[in-house]
A and B are shown apart, each in its own frame.
Chain A
Amino acid sequence: MMAALICVISIVAFLQFFVSYCRSILATSRKVQLSDRVREVAGIANQNVAAEDFQRLLQLVRLCPERGDDRTEIRAVGTYYGFLHVIGRAFRSVIPSLAAWSERERQSCSYFAAVALDRRISYSRDLLTQQAGDRV
């Protein structure tokens, strides 16, 4: 009885802590405006980034040279996105509001990926400029 109670409370607490932790990482990217350059590269028309774009954006991120300081964040958000994807699919017909919430969260994840891409593109350009400068 006690173990069952502890189990249920722990799982609920785990979900809340995990979602809040991932949101705290996503929150830092919300303040960042996407540059025209990344919009052009990723084919993003307006300020909102579609939830389904996450994997595509992540592939683009992987094509860029690594900055070395964003790998942990990207991995954590990738895990969160996968979790939201499962939640969205599992509860679409049962709890539509939960599925809608998961969709909004996945949009935030995509926006985060777009910001990460933007940073990596800037980093690549800096590297190129630096190399060109070294040659001269």
Chain B
Amino acid sequence: MQLGPLDYGLWLTSFLLEVYVVVWSVLRKDFLRYIPLNIYMLAVAGVTWGQYHFIHTYGLKSQNYFYYYYYSDSLLCILMYLVIIHFYQEVFAEMNVSRYIRGAAALLLAATALFSYIVVRQNKEHMTTSFVVELEQNINFVVVVLTYLLWGAILKLRETRTRLIQLVLALGVAFSATAGSYALRNLFPDATDLLRWVPPVMGVWLPLAWAYTLTKVPEDARLATARLVARAR
């Protein structure tokens, strides 16, 4: 299988958007304010560059690329945990519960690793390959659950900061689509050709939505969360 212009286009777009988010934060002197988000964007940009290197050195179908892709993505998901914890701390800032949030997040991460290990232990014959795919699916799903709980807290606490709301929602869109696509791949291995587009498209979506929010939405913009919940009357 060869990479087409669309693959390269998505790659380049996501890389440029990731760099844009970081550069914009630096120029606006907001780098430290959004430090977990900026570290994540820098790491994603680095991983994107690494993917390009691995494909050109070892080939798309190589084992090297396969493991690089899944393990680097799992590490990125762990960095994403830090971003989510940062968002939790923002939402619960007035309640002084940062210590508990960090503890709960660490516990959840350990539980995810343990769960993945137990699942893989039952399929020992395909140990490494099945482990990375399983871990990828589970870690992505935990990010979805954490983001969903965060969204619930935002609604419950009537958080009004538009920037924070949009950053969290964009994250939710990206990871729920990615987790869903990995689960569908597991369920329907024949549909991989179509589903393989979801992660790269979401790889463009997340930095694009974050870049849009950071650039266009003013820091002091406010929004009533009740307006965002869809209710069929």
Contact = CB atoms under 8 A, between A and B. Distances in A.
Contacts of A105: 230
Contacts, number: 95
Q: How large is the interface on B (under 10, 10 to 19, 20 to 34, 35 or more residues)?
A: 35 or more
B165 A24 contact: yes
B113 to A, nearest CB: 16
Interface stretch (A1-9, A46-54, A123-131): A1-9
A86 interface: no
Contact of A21 (B137, B144, B170, B233): B170
Nearest to B185: A3
Given A3-B186, A7-B183, A98-B232, A24 B162 contact: yes
A4 B184 CA distance: 8
A10 B230 contact: no
Contacts of B137: 3, 6
B173 A21 contact: yes
A41 interface: no
B183 A6 contact: yes
A11 B216 contact: no
Interface in A1-47: 2-4, 6-7, 9-11, 13-14, 16-21, 23-24, 27-28, 30
Interface residues of A, number: 30
B209 interface: yes
B179 to A, nearest CB: 4
Contacts of A11: 176, 180
Contact of B166 (A19, A24, A97): A24
B21 to A, nearest CB: 14
Interface string A67-84: 001001100000000000
Contacts of A95: 232
Given A20-B229, A100-B233, A7 B180 contact: yes
A71 B151 CA distance: 27
Nearest to A7: B183
Given A10-B176, A13-B176, A69-B216, A24 B223 contact: yes
A104 to B, nearest CB: 9
A10 B187 contact: no
B36 interface: no
B173 A17 contact: yes
Interface of B: 119, 137-138, 141, 144, 147-148, 151, 162, 165-166, 169-170, 172-173, 176-177, 179-180, 182-184, 186-187, 208-209, 212, 216, 221, 223-224, 227-233
Given A6-B138, A14-B180, A24-B169, 5 more contacts: A17-B151, A21-B169, A27-B224, A28-B162, A28-B223
Interface of A: 2-4, 6-7, 9-11, 13-14, 16-21, 23-24, 27-28, 30, 69, 72-73, 95, 97-98, 100-101, 105
